[in-house]
Amino acid sequence: MQHPAVPELAHTTTRPIHWVATATAVSGVIALTSLLQPGSATAAQPQPRARAASATAMPPDPAKVHFPLDCGPTKVLVAKKATGDLDGDGRPETVAVVHCDASMGTPPDGAYVLTQAAGATEPRVVATLVDPKDRLTVTGLAVRDAAVTATLLGYSSADVPSCCPDVKSSAEWRWKGGAFIRSTPSAARTV
pLDDT digits (tens, 9 = 90+) for 75-118: 999 999 999 999 999 999 999 999 999 877 788 999 999 999 88
Over 90: is that where the pLDDT of 59 sits? yes
pTM, entire model: 0.68
What are 115-157's pLDDT values in tens digits?
A: 998 888 899 999 999 999 999 999 989 999 999 999 999 999 9
Tell me the three state secondary structure of residue 30.
helix
**Strand duo 110-115 + 167-176: pairing:** unpaired
First vs last Cα of the chain: how many Å apart?
82
Q: What is the average per-residue pLDDT within 20-36?
A: 58
Specify the DSSP class assigned to residue 25. H
Q: C-alpha angle with apex 43: 40 to 48, nearest 5 degrees?
A: 110
Q: How far apart (Å, rounded) are the C-alpha atoms in residues 139 and 117?
A: 28
